[in-house]
Structure 1
Amino acid sequence: MATWMIRAGRGGVYAKDWVENGYVGIGWDFGGVDIASTSHEQLRGVYEAANPDFSAQKVAFAASQASKFAHTIVAGSTVVTYDPEARVYHIGKITGECVPSPDVDGVTYTRKVDWKRIAPRDRLSMSSRNSLGSLTTIFNISAEVAGELNSAAGKGAGKPEAGIETGDSADDEEARFATYDDGIERIKDRALSLTWEDMEQFVAGLLRTMGYHATVTPKGPDGGRDIVASPDALGLESPRIVVEVKHRKGTIGAPMVRSFLGGLRAGDRGLYVSTGGFSTEARYEAGRATVPVRLLDLDGLIRLYVETYDKADAETRSLLPLTRIWWPA
């Protein structure tokens, strides 16, 4: 059987829910028709009827992708999805047939999955990372990349499953968003190679881009104050933002967030940046804090940087330079 990649929505927003609740889904609107009992040829007409304003390219793409989801991918097939926040590929087995799912957020059809293993993105070669950045929502993973995912997930070496060609050509909108998400992942790969000193300067530069006067504090016991930012150059105006930056692979737990919150003074705002992400307990700790605090993981940090890149100063851009890609309107 082949190994299939199914994207969890734009920016991987549904990945956690898919894994926690054991399913995968698609969001194309076929008017509630049972696509599992509808042929590929019929799917085009059904989708066109449900979306009469869509282009022929968009209709053909949706019908082809839905046909793969409902028919080509069979029970027992290996399926992979990516969680950009945790930077891991989840690997599982399809265990159920395609069913309409009108009550599931963000999707119209789902299939049950037994999620078994995870493969950290950082353990994959650059060529495999690039291969997993295909422009389509559902695509077949090559035998070589499937084997590397298995190795990264800790599975013993073995002959990977053979792949098949998908032959799909993504419509412009789908390709544009897939390209954007893939670009975000490549930028994150590059950001992880920064030194911890450069990462502190990078975060300070991002705050300057957003209109704050940000200063990296001198090294030494800082009590969780790597950067201090304020609306004015003298640091007298509110809100004053106190920033802790942790540039490492491990997640930040609740005790470290609690310690950071304990060091904030009256009137401070807290920003905790962790390139390794945060545990569920850490997010809960921040959510119940009595002072305003924001937890920012690598995915959120880089997406914010991309959105504000045009306003970044030369020093910040030099730490993580980007190239703009133009796309036809």
Structure 2
Amino acid sequence: MPRLWIVRAGKHGERELAAIEQNRLLPGFLEVGDLTSRPSRDAILGHLQQVLPELAQNTLKNFAAQLNQFAHTIQIGDLAVMPRKVTNSVAIGRVTGEYVYNSDDPYRHSRTVEWLKPAVPRDTFKQDLRHSFGAFMTICEIKRNGAFERVRSVLETGLDPGALLGTQGTAPVRATDDEPDAGDYASDIEEIANQQIISLIKSEFAGHALAELVAEILRVEGYTTRVSPPGPDGGVDILAAGGAFGLGQDRMCVQVKSGDGAANHDVVLRLIGSMSNVQASTGLLVSIGGVNAPAHRELDHHFFKLRLWQMPDLLKALFRAYNDLSEETKNKLPLKQIWAPISGDEA
């Protein structure tokens, strides 16, 4: 029977866009050599002890188990979930190829995948699966609570039916086993909290209200802003200017995309055109659904004039400004800062 796997694409989502564009699973571990000739966890562990001698033995055992799964346990036809950091979605695909190592490839380790749905909002899934997606693992299987059947249901119907009868009592797997379940590992508390905040933002600041939130954040950061009224905006949601009375040379044109879909190349071109029309010196694209590869290349091409805020960037700006936001905004988005211990792998 096919199985369901989490395969992440970077702690900060740095390989996500390449994974989607190239139809590949890209787990990283760039210091690690070819796993083809290392057919077991123990063989991989021996290699890791040579190339990563500074890491603790338990960490190396954990990494060896993950890499063994990626290279030797995952099968063609299995489903893979890639939790996406730059949006609040997950990509779901079907594995189509065997493990490949290429030393000339910047990503080194990969498997091909057919992305069936590259951007499913996390809120589509019930809380237990969302927590599994937040496990502190780059590669691991999700087995509990009928996870495979539920993800397949989302692919077919768009709905998560919840934990299925007869699937609750799966025995826990020790972390030293080759096939740990996502539920056996601590969740990334920060990631889960961020996803909850994202859901709140999408609920309380839907549509044009997101532009109002971005404008308020920019005002806290010292800009004078003007927000376009709801409706067609011609590529300008916010005008922001620095200096006294907003008359300085730092003039910014902001386009805000509040939908789940990735902003495309045309969105970037419209922003560039709007900058010219209003004589802005810089442009900011805020897209909570991220951007596609052509749009990202266009943004890179205009590095000295354009900036992109995807969801992680918006959250960082929100946290910086939060204490100085209006009481009305804080009431819609009630947050508090906490301290929490971190695991050895994060430190």
What is the TM-score of this pair, normalised by structure 1?
0.77
Shift of 1:39: 2.3
Point out the more displaced range, 84-93 or 120-129. Answer: 84-93
Equivalent in the alignment of 1:4 = 5
Whole-Å separation in 2 of the counterparts to 1:291 and 1:59: 41
Q: Deviations over 1:128-148 (max 9, x none)?
A: 222311111112223533333
Equivalent in the alignment of 1:323 = 337
Question: Which letter does structure 1 place at the counterpart of 2:217?
Answer: L
Shift of 1:279: 5.0
Point out the more displaced range, 53-62 or 257-266. Answer: 257-266
Asked if 2 retains the 8 angstrom alpha-carbon contact of 1:134 and 1:178, the reply is yes
Whole-Å separation in 1 of the counterparts to 2:63 and 2:132: 21
Whole-Å separation in 2 of the counterparts to 1:259 and 1:233: 29
Partner of residue 205 from structure 1, selected from 208, 216, 223? 216
Asked if 2 retains the 8 angstrom alpha-carbon contact of 1:136 and 1:168, the reply is no
Partner of residue 146 from structure 2, selected from 125, 134, 144? 144
Correspondence 1:1-329 to 2 at 5 A? 1-28=2-29, 31-34=32-35, 37-85=38-86, 87-105=88-106, 107-118=107-118, 120-121=120-121, 122-142=123-143, 143-154=145-156, 167-168=174-175, 178-195=188-205, 196=207, 198-209=209-220, 211-217=221-227, 219=229, 224-253=235-264, 257-263=268-274, 264-278=277-291, 292-306=305-319, 308=320, 312-313=324-325, 315=327, 317-320=330-333, 321-328=335-342
Q: 1:325 to 1:43 in 2, by over 3 A?
A: same
Whole-Å separation in 2 of the counterparts to 1:237 and 1:81: 44
Whole-Å separation in 1 of the counterparts to 2:28 and 2:293: 27
Q: Deviations over 1:13-58 (max 9, x none)?
A: 2123223323323333675253553322233232112222211221
Question: Which letter does structure 1 place at the counterpart of 2:3?
Answer: A
Question: Which letter does structure 2 place at the counterpart of 1:193?
Answer: S
Q: Deviations over 1:46-79 (max 9, x none)?
A: 2112222211221121112112222332333222
Asked if 1 retains the 8 angstrom alpha-carbon contact of 2:286 and 2:308, the reply is yes
Structure 2, unmatched stretches of 5+, are none
Whole-Å separation in 1 of the counterparts to 2:81 and 2:210: 31
SS at match of 1:192: helix
Structure 1, unmatched stretches of 5+, are none
Shift of 1:185: 2.9
Question: Which letter does structure 1 place at the counterpart of 2:150?
Answer: E
Asked if 2 retains the 8 angstrom alpha-carbon contact of 1:140 and 1:166, the reply is no
Q: 1:208 to 1:109 in 2, by over 3 A?
A: same
Q: 1:99 to 1:165 in 2, by over 3 A?
A: farther
Whole-Å separation in 2 of the counterparts to 1:145 and 1:294: 38
Question: Which letter does structure 1 place at the counterpart of 2:287?
Answer: S
Q: 1:33 to 1:194 in 2, by over 3 A?
A: same
Whole-Å separation in 1 of the counterparts to 2:32 and 2:239: 53
What is the TM-score of this pair, normalised by structure 2?
0.74
Shift of 1:267: 4.4
- Cα RMSD for the two superposed structures: 3.8
Asked if 2 retains the 8 angstrom alpha-carbon contact of 1:89 and 1:118, the reply is yes
Q: How many equivalent pairs are there?
A: 321
Q: 1:290 to 1:76 in 2, by over 3 A?
A: closer
SS at match of 1:139: strand
Whole-Å separation in 1 of the counterparts to 2:49 and 2:297: 44
Percent identity between the two aligned chains:
24
